[in-house]
Structure 1
Amino acid sequence: MPNAENSSHVAKMLHRRAGTLRPGDPLVPPLVAASAFLLPGEPNAPFGYGRWNTPTWAALETSLSILEDADTVIFPSGMAAIAAVLMTQLEHGDRVLLPSDGYYNTRSMAEKYLTPQGVQIELCATPDYGDKDFTGFKLVFVETPSNPRLDVCEIADVARRAHRAGALVVVDNTTMTVLGQQPLNLGADIVVASDTKALNGHSDALLGHVASRDASVLDAVREWRTLAGGIPGQLEAWLVHRGLESFELRYERMCTSAGLIAERFLEHPAIVDVVYPGLPTHPAREIVARQMSSGGSLVGVTFAHADAAEQFITRAEYVIPATSFGGTHTTAERRARWGDEVAAGFVRLSVGCEPTEVLWQDFAATLQELS
């Protein structure tokens, strides 16, 4: 669960406006639907034009910066955040290492748009990062736990060795969130995340962010956002800020439920395999204990065949068949349908905020029908 430092950051984030409020002011930042602002004389006002910055963006970025303990820039999606980092940090002749088992769109984007620009792409499975030689790489991109197989590598070890080789380290922290894992404190240079998932948590807005303690990195991605015009919507930014208000509570319920359910899945005859970073059976359990404050809210469940997996998803009353994850509702999908290199019966289960025992009883009844 979130540690003492994280909890302190959450409290600070929740009350950051308290010292600035006047009688009658709203407790939460207002949604400012404006594209133009009063800008007399020299253009040095905090807000001037909606493609540069807005009060609604600033409110969310300030709150995220408190949680990340680092400067933060928001983007209209997690992929927009990833693209901003890759496009601003890599150029012709550079080598970049990407996870072969991570989110496939990261690889697709790099192969389609970076390769033609002369950037050399190399792939590596997440568990193999511990033995990888980073010599000659400009950027090492890490996704741990990986999506969807929940493999893990040690961020601190990767950062030490990558820095000795002169490489930047980027960590996609979407699966764990800043409450479950803090890559910047473990030595990473840059964090990217899809805030569409657990941070927002309500399945109603797309957003992403980049966080770094390197001012040059943040200046570059912020300029990319302005010049490329890939900017967040005001409503989406406001909705994600709304999600932050309950983020810690939701995340704690989700992770607690996921851990309990994963343990019970291990003992059920209808299930072939269970992967969950918080289980003692996870191959990287020692690394998990060092760098993660929970096992997360995702569970990988493998059934004997695709039909059994689909029956579990469709028969369970409190499971919604959907892609994406991290919402208040429990969702699941058979990832082989997208071409992921997993067993046909592998299901990525995103545990939501339903009462834990009620959710388990639903799962148990469904599994009994499949046995």
Structure 2
Amino acid sequence: MVSSKKFDTLAIHAGQDFDPTTGAVIPPIYQTSTYVQDGIGGLRSGYEYSRGGNPTRTALELQIAALEGGAHGLSFSSGLAAEDAILRAVLAPGDHVVLGNDAYGGTFRLVDRVNGAWGIRNTTVDQADLAAVESAIMAETKILWIETPSNPLMKVSDIAALAEIGHRAGTLVVVDNTFASPALQRPLAHGADVVVHSTTKYLGGHSDVIGGALVIDDDELHEKVRFIQFAVGAVSAPMEAFLTIRGIKTLALRMERHSRNAQAIAEHLAGHPAVETVYYPGLATHPGHELAARQMSGFGGMLSLAMRGGEVAARTFSEATRLFQLAESLGGVESLLNYPSEMTHASVRGTELEVPANIVRLSVGIEDVEDLIADLDQALSRV
């Protein structure tokens, strides 16, 4: 095992011991469903069935835990599967969850509609307002769910302050770290109990894999969630685990470029006559800029625009880019554009989380930034 605690080294080596049989530098993909036993109950490698454990998935879980600075990593078939596992492990009918009022639409749907039918209640609140968060927590609150930066309005929440509020009330504090990635932000170091990722995004990094992960420090909670992982079965398949491992090895380099490109684009668009507001924590005008600078090592590759011409302008712009491809998801090497109100956040229409119709979300890739700016300018000229 690697002894270094430096992020770039961990990303390449944590959980990635060479194959002891052949000496292969890259651990093999264990594309198997089951394992031979040396007699009944005699596991020669600790593995018996790949729903319960697979060496390729173990390598990924060790890698992600190391990057987040946590004791335990758990890898799932999607980000929402990871979220579902922690909710199942912690909640019972009658319990309550506090979420931000700019949470990802899929998270809200899972908590409100899927778990709501099971008797779970929730409250959404502006998590920048610490007093409002404290007021929203009640005796039945079991989870304080934080997403920072948030999707899609890029709100920045104070993890340490919220963790203190949550722990004072005896509430588990979960942070969705998908937008920042552990390359830019490590919530456990700020007091969070659990970190959740859609590894589909920046960790995988190439828009070719679906996955999710949890990182947990508490041994007892880890055992509860691992039981859910095994019993429900929404685990990473070996190939998906391998692709995510491969993506993580270049995470630090990619996040530097994502952040640099997004900063340049945000600064360029901040004064554009067609753009009313640029939501990017790297801008000094962003209300969460100073907080982001304290708890993040970079501002990331995500930004959103409020178009001055309203819904018509947002739609026209969204369909006029060439390099920025109109698609769901984010965090890949290529630049993507999303119209949240009808794409990623359609499920929250009619709620406090409804995304304004003039919002466009950009996932800034690692292409040449001058080409990206030229593409945005030509699209804006059509608005």
TM-score by length of 1: 0.93
Deviation per residue, 1:97-140 (Å, 9 max, x gap): 12232012222222233334333322223333453223422211
Alpha-carbon distance between aligned partners in 1 of 2:78 and 2:131, rounded to the nearest angstrom: 29
- Partner of 1:58 in structure 2? 58
CA shift digits 1:282-333 (9 cap, x unpaired): 1122211221111111111111222322332332221100011111111111
Greater displacement, 278-287 / 340-349 = 340-349
> Could you tell me how far apart the structure 2 residues matched to 1:84 and 1:183 are?
19
- Which among 267, 274, 281 is matched to residue 285 of structure 2? 281
Deviation of the 1:202 alpha carbon: 0.9
Instruction: Letter of the 1:292 partner, please give it.
Output: M
Partner of residue 273 from structure 2, selected from 260, 269, 276: 269
Quick check: 115-124 or 70-79, which moved more?
A: 115-124
Cα distance, 1:113–1:306 mapped onto 2, change above 3 Å: closer
> Residue 48 of structure 2 corresponds to which residue in structure 1?
48
Letter in 2 for 1:114: N
Is the aligned partner of 1:350 residue 2:363?
yes
SS in structure 2 of the partner of residue 180 of structure 1? coil
Relative distance call for 1:363 and 1:35 in structure 2 (3 A) is: same
Q: Kindly indicate whether the alpha-carbon contact (under 8 Å) linking 2:78 and 2:198 is maintained by their aligned counterparts in 1.
A: yes
Whether contact under 8 Å (1:97, 1:124) holds in the other structure is: yes
The counterpart of 1:30, out of the listed 28, 31, 40, is: 28
Pairwise CA RMSD of aligned residues? 2.0
> Is 1:90 the equivalent of 2:91?
yes
Cross-structure match for 2:180: 176
Residue in structure 1 matched with residue 331 of structure 2 by the alignment: 326
Q: Take 2:42 and 2:130, find their aligned partners in 1: how far apart are those partners?
A: 47
> How has the CA–CA distance of structure 1 residues 269 and 147 changed in structure 2, closer, same or farther, with 3 Å as cutoff?
same
My pick for the range that moved more, 181-190 or 29-38, is: 29-38
Aligned mates of 1:368, 1:112 — CA distance in 2: 41
Q: 2:8 matched to 1:10?
A: yes
- Aligned partner (choices 168, 187, 203) of residue 191 of structure 2: 187
SS of the counterpart of 1:96?
strand
CA positional deviation for 1:335: 1.3
Aligned mates of 2:195, 2:82 — CA distance in 1: 9
Q: Which residue in 2 is equivalent to 1:108?
A: 109
Q: Could you tell me which residue of structure 2 aligns to residue 301 of structure 1?
A: 305
Q: Provide the TM-score with structure 2 as the length reference.
A: 0.90
2:154 & 2:16 partners in 1: Cα distance? 39
Whole-angstrom distance in 1 between the partners of 2:19 and 2:36: 22
Give the Å deviation of 1:84.
Answer: 0.3
Shift of 1:364: 2.5
Is 1:256 the counterpart of 2:254? The answer is: no
CA 1:315–1:116: 2 relative to 1, 3 Å: closer
Match of 1:3 in 2: none
Q: Is the 8 A contact 2:341 2:357 kept in 1?
A: yes
Distance 1:20 1:215 in 2: 28
Given the superposition, is the C-alpha separation of residues 182 and 18 from structure 1 closer, same or farther in structure 2, using an over 3 Å criterion? closer
**Residues in 2 aligned to 1:96 and 1:315: alpha-carbon distance in whole angstroms:** 40
| Alignment partners' CA distance in 1, 2:10 and 2:157 | 31
Structure 1 residues 50, 166: CA separation in 2 closer, same or farther (over 3 Å shift)?
same
Unaligned runs of 5+ in 2: none
Cα distance, 1:7–1:354 mapped onto 2, change above 3 Å: farther
Change (3 A) 1:192 1:40: same
Gaps of 5+ in 1: 1-5
In structure 2, the residue matched to 1:365 is 378
Between Structure 1 and Structure 2, which shows a larger proportion of helix residues? 1
Name the aligned partner's letter for residue 262 of structure 1.
A
Tell me the distance in 2 between the aligned counterparts of 1:7 and 1:259.
Answer: 28
Structure 1 residues 60 and 227: alpha-carbon distance in aligned structure 2, compared to 1, 3 A threshold: same
Report the 3-state secondary structure (helix = DSSP H, G, I; strand = E; otherwise coil) of the residue aligned with 2:264. Answer: helix
Distance in 2 between the 1:13 and 1:176 partners? 15
Aligned CA distance change for structure 1 residues 149 and 54 (closer, same or farther; 3 Å): same
How many residues are aligned here? Answer: 365
Residue of structure 2 aligned with 1:232, choices 229, 236, 242? 236
Could you tell me how far 1:24 is from its partner in structure 2? 5.0
